[in-house]
């Protein structure tokens, strides 16, 4: 990328948001991200498909929520905008939907701003640069944008994000805090990398990927099915419950990458679920 580097962008380390963008075929990344991404793909080529599968799940989840009448979303760790952004999918079902994006990577935030300036509506869309671990502050800032109405249910999206937090970040506590702040009838949509029940084939390559992320300064914290399910404490799980990502309300036409796991969904190495706050 030759465009000016937004303030605060760390080009000394590869960054998860920009690496993910590269996995997805985007252009919002720098040489340091691409070199790291290429090393990971060399170690475990399936990662690019896994990223697409994660993005397809996000799309199915938002479409499902929108079809249930959810018209406002808070997308935590939203990443670099790419095809199928939450506000676009929500609008395609319910025109006039609302969405606040949150990320701590300045490039992701800068690109989200540009996209929203071009295609968004400031009354209905906003992006915040912030650390999603601080639930009270993020919630307060999200409400201050005027985009979200705290008296109506919100779709809280934390997709492909929670594995960046170790227990020291107290992820169960901050997710529970968001749950407490959300109005009743709100939802939590999430997915999470795991090794629990994943085929042994490829396990040493996946372990190498984890050590590559560890040395890049962004360790991955995999969780078991039971540990992932704990994030939904206080929510009622929506059918089909906690399942492999490609199996969450599959939609063959809208999820071509997920079809690559049709014979062995556990090879996707990630769980997905949706919960509703009673």
Ligand X SMILES: C[S@@+](CC[C@H](N)C(=O)[O-])C[C@H]1O[C@@H](n2cnc3c(N)ncnc32)[C@H](O)[C@@H]1O
Which one, 20 or 232, has the nearer CB to ligand X?
20
Count the residues of the shown chain that bind ligand X, applying the rule CB under 6 A.
21
- Please choose, from the candidates 155, 102, 154, the residue with its C-alpha nearest in 3D space to the C-alpha of residue 129: 102
Rounded Cα gap, residues 44 and 109, in angstroms: 29
Near ligand X by CB under 6 A: residue from 71, 72, 112, 160: 160
**Which span sits near ligand X by CB under 6 A: 63-71, 98-106, 111-119, 241-249?**
98-106
Judged by CB under 6 A, does residue 77 bind ligand X? yes
Judged by CB under 6 A, does residue 78 bind ligand X? yes
Which one, 74 or 96, has the nearer CB to ligand X?
74
Near ligand X by CB under 6 A: residue from 14, 17, 142, 258: 17
Q: Least distance to ligand X from the beta carbon of 131, Å? A: 4
Q: Least distance to ligand X from the beta carbon of 164, Å? A: 5
Judged by CB under 6 A, does residue 133 bind ligand X? yes
**Which span sits near ligand X by CB under 6 A: 31-39, 71-79, 233-241, 261-269?**
71-79
Q: Could you please report the per-residue DSSP string of 59-127? A: HHHHHHHHHTT--EEEEET--S--SS-HHHHHHHHSTT-EEEEEES-HHHHHHHHHHHHHH--TTTEEE
Rounded Cα gap, residues 105 and 229, in angstroms: 27
* DSSP percent split of the chain into helix, strand, coil, nearest 5: 45, 15, 40
Rounded Cα gap, residues 14 and 34, in angstroms: 8
Contacts with ligand X by CB under 6 A lie at 16-17, 20, 54-55, 58, 77-79, 102-105, 108, 131-133, 159-161, 164
């Amino acid at each position: 990328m030759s465009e000016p580097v937004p303030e605060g962008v760390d080009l000394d380390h590869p960054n998860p948001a920009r690496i993910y963008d590269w996995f997805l075929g985007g252009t919002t990344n720098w040489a340091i991200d691409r070199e790291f991404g290429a090393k990971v793909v060399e170690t475990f080529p399936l990662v690019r498909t896994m990223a697409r599968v994660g993005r397809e799940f996000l799309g199915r989840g938002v479409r499902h929520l929108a079809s249930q009448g959810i018209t406002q979303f808070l997308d935590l760790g939203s990443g670099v905008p790419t095809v199928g952004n939450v506000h676009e999918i929500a609008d395609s079902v319910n025109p006039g939907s609302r969405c606040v994006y949150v990320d701590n990577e300045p490039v992701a935030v800068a690109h989200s701003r540009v996209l929203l300036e071009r295609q968004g509506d400031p009354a209905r869309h906003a992006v915040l640069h912030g650390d999603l671990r601080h639930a009270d502050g993020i919630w307060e800032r999200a409400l201050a944008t005027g985009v979200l109405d705290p008296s109506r249910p919100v779709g809280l999206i934390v997709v492909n994000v929670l594995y960046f937090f170790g227990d020291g970040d107290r992820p169960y506590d901050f997710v529970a805090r968001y749950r407490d702040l959300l109005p009743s009838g709100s939802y939590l949509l999430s997915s999470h990398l795991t090794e629990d029940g994943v085929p042994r084939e490829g396990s040493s390559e996946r372990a190498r990927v984890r050590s590559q992320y560890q040395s890049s300064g962004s360790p991955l914290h995999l969780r078991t099915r039971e540990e992932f399910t704990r994030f939904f404490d206080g929510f009622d799980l929506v059918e089909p419950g906690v399942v492999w990502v490609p199996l969450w309300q599959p939609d063959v036409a809208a999820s071509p990458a997920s079809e690559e796991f049709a014979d062995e969904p556990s090879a996707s190495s990630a769980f997905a679920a949706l919960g509703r706050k009673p």
